[in-house]
């Protein structure tokens, strides 16, 4: 049973290495999708904000990993 738990943990870790990175990306996607859908934000502006936001989140995650 312990081997199964370790294998499952490793499998999940391949896709979600940093939980806060995944969470922040999902929140960013939800906020921008909501702004495009409900606030009539132009899709091109939403895409640009999504690109800039994802790069900022990635930079934050890398800096935090370097400090560890």
The kind and range of the H/E element at 36 are helix 19-38
- The answer to whether residue 10 sits within a structural domain is no
* Position 29 in a domain: yes
Overall domain count for the chain: 1
Q: What confidence score (pLDDT) does residue 7 get?
A: 84
**What is the average pLDDT across 54-64?**
91
Is residue 60 situated within a structural domain?
A: yes
By the 10 Å C-beta count (0-12 exposed, 13-18 middle, 19+ buried), 3 is classed as: exposed
pLDDT digits (tens, 9 = 90+) for 18-54: 778 888 999 999 999 999 999 999 999 999 999 999 9
């Amino acid at each position: 049973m312990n081997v199964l738990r370790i294998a499952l943990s490793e499998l999940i870790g391949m896709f979600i290495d940093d939980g806060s990175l995944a969470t922040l990306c999902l929140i960013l996607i939800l906020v921008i999708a909501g702004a495009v859908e409900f606030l009539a934000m132009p899709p091109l502006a939403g895409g640009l904000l999504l690109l800039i936001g994802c790069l900022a989140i990635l930079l934050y995650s890398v800096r935090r990993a370097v400090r560890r």
